[in-house]
C-alpha cells in the first residue's frame, strides 16, 4: 500500500507548510512563497496582531494578496481566483509559534514580518516540568484559537488551513533557547520529561483543531514535524532525544511529514528511515539526493532552495541546480520559500520557466 503523501505547501503570506498530495503533482513541482515584506510593499498589508487574530481582517488582505500573486505569476495554478476556501483560513496565524503560546510565551508583531518570540518569556526546565497538560489545553490562547474557528465557520462555513505546529525539538528550543542543548547534556531525564509533555500537547491540540475543521467540512488529518534546528545536534542525539517523539506523532495521524529546513540530511537518514508512514521529507542541496531517492522511494521528497541565490545567482547557475535536482531527486518539489521583496518578478518567472522546460 502506498504511503499517504504530503507535498510542500506555502500558504499566502505564511511560512512553508505541507498539504495532502493528490497524485497530480508534476515530477518537478515548484512551491513558491514570499516574505511578508513582499506583500507589505506590494499590497499595503499590515501583519501586526490583528492579521493573526481577526479572521475577517485576514480574509480581506488575503483576497488582495491573491489577486496580486495571480497577476504577477499567471502560470502558478494554486492562486486560482475562483477558489475561495483559502481566504477563510487558519494558515499563517501566529507564524511558527502556535505551541509556544500554549505554554505562555508572548509574541512581538510587526507590520512587515512574521511574529517573533518575546525573549523575556523564556521558560526554565523546571517551570515547564510543573505545567499540567490539561491546563495548557484550556489556556486563554487555546480559547482564542477556537473562537477564530467559530468566526470562520459562521461567516464562510469551511474552516480551511494548516497551522504551523513545528516539532518537539523546535518547540523546546523556542521555550528554552540555546540552554536546551546544555540541558541535553546535564539533565537528560528532565529533557525527556519536557519533550514528552510538549509532544503530547502538540498531538492533542492538533487533533482537537483538526477534528473541529473536519466537522466544518475541511478534510484534514496530518502532522508535519519541523526539525529546523536538527543540525545543531548529532545523529546520535537525534535518535536518543527526538526520534521517539517524531515516531509517536507519526503513529497518531493519517499523514506524516518531516521538514528539516535547508540542512544536509545525510547524517540522519538512517534514523529517518525508521519513522513510520513518512509521506514527506525535505532537505538542502548539500544532501546526497540520489541516496535519498533510493532510501525513500515512496516518500514525496523536496529540496529547500535559497531565496538569496534565487535573487543573486546567474541564471545559468539556477538552471544547473534545477537540472541536478530533477536528475537526482525527481519526482520531487522545489521549495522556493521566503522570496525577498527585492527579488524581481522576472527572476521568479524565469525559475518557473526553467522547471517547466525540464519536464
Q: H or E stretch including 140?
A: helix 140-156
- Block mean pLDDT (10 aa), the chain, length 359: 86 97 96 98 98 98 98 95 97 97 96 94 93 97 98 98 98 96 97 98 98 98 96 96 98 97 94 97 97 98 98 98 98 98 98 97
Cα→Cα distances 194→128, 183, 201, 242, 326, Å:
7, 11, 11, 12, 41
In eight-state DSSP terms, residue 2 is -
In eight-state DSSP terms, residue 306 is P
**CATH for 6-358, among 3.40.50.40, 3.20.20.210, 3.65.10.10, 3.90.1570.10?**
3.20.20.210
Please tell me whether residue 330 adopts helix, strand or coil conformation: coil
122, three cell numbers: 523564556
pLDDT of residue 1: 38
- CB atoms under 10 Å from CB of 121, counted, come to 15
pLDDT of residue 122: 87
336: Cβ contacts below 8 Å, ≥ 6 apart:
30, 31, 32, 33, 305, 307, 310, 348, 351
pTM: 0.96
Q: Is there a contact between 224 and 259 (Cβ–Cβ < 8 Å)? A: yes
pLDDT of residue 2: 62
Beta strands 107-108 and 116-117 are antiparallel
Q: Is there a contact between 280 and 260 (Cβ–Cβ < 8 Å)? A: no
219 Rama sector, left if φ>0, alpha if ψ -120 to 50, beta otherwise: beta
pLDDT of residue 262: 86
171, three cell numbers: 518547540
292 vs 269: CA distance, rounded Å: 8
274, three cell numbers: 525508521
Per the document, the length of the chain is 359
Nearest to 91 by CA among 154, 40, 148, 174: 148
- The domains of the chain are located at 6-358
b/e map 69-83, b = 16+ CB within 10 Å? beebeeebebbeeee
45: Cβ contacts below 8 Å, ≥ 6 apart:
13, 36, 39, 51, 61, 64, 65
Amino acid at each position: 500500500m502506498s504511503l499517504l503523501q504530503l507535498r510542500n505547501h506555502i500558504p499566502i503570506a505564511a511560512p512553508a507548510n505541507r498539504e495532502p498530495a493528490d497524485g497530480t503533482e508534476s515530477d518537478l513541482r515548484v512551491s513558491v512563497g514570499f516574505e511578508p515584506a513582499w506583500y507589505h510593499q506590494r499590497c499595503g498589508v499590515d501583519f501586526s496582531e490583528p492579521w493573526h487574530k481577526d479572521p475577517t481582517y485576514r480574509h480581506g488582505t488575503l483576497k488582495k494578496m491573491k489577486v496580486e500573486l495571480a497577476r504577477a505569476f499567471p502560470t502558478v495554478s494554486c492562486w486560482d481566483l475562483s477558489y475561495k476556501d483559502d481566504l477563510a483560513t487558519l494558515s499563517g496565524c501566529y507564524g511558527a509559534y502556535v505551541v509556544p503560546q500554549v505554554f505562555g510565551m508572548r509574541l512581538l508583531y510587526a507590520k512587515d514580518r512574521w511574529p517573533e518570540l518575546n525573549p523575556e518569556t523564556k521558560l526554565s526546565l523546571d517551570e515547564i516540568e510543573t505545567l499540567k497538560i490539561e491546563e495548557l489545553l484550556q489556556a486563554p490562547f487555546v480559547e482564542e484559537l477556537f473562537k477564530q474557528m467559530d468566526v470562520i465557520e459562521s461567516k464562510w462555513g469551511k474552516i480551511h488551513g494548516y497551522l504551523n505546529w513545528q516539532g518537539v525539538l523546535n518547540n523546546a528550543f523556542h521555550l528554552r533557547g540555546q540552554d536546551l542543548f546544555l540541558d541535553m547534556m546535564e539533565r537528560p531525564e528532565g529533557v525527556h520529561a519536557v519533550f514528552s509533555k510538549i509532544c503530547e500537547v502538540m498531538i492533542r491540540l492538533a487533533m482537537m483543531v483538526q477534528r473541529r475543521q473536519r466537522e466544518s467540512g475541511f478534510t484534514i488529518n496530518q502532522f508535519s514535524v519541523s526539525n529546523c534546528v536538527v543540525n545543531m545536534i548529532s545523529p546520535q542525539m537525534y535518535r536518543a532525544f527526538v526520534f521517539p517523539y517524531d515516531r509517536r506523532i507519526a503513529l497518531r495521524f493519517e499523514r506524516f511529514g518531516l521538514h528539516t529546513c535547508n540542512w544536509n540530511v545525510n547524517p540522519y537518514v538512517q534514523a529517518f528511515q525508521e519513522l513510520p508512514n513518512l509521506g514527506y521529507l525535505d532537505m538542502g542541496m548539500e544532501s546526497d539526493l540520489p541516496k535519498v531517492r533510493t532510501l525513500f522511494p515512496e516518500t514525496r521528497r523536496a529540496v529547500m532552495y535559497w531565496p538569496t541565490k534565487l535573487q543573486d545567482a546567474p541564471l545559468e547557475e539556477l538552471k544547473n541546480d534545477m537540472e541536478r535536482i530533477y536528475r537526482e531527486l525527481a519526482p520531487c518539489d522545489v521549495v522556493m520559500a521566503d522570496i525577498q521583496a527585492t527579488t524581481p518578478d522576472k527572476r521568479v518567472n524565469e525559475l518557473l520557466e526553467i522547471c517547466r522546460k525540464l519536464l
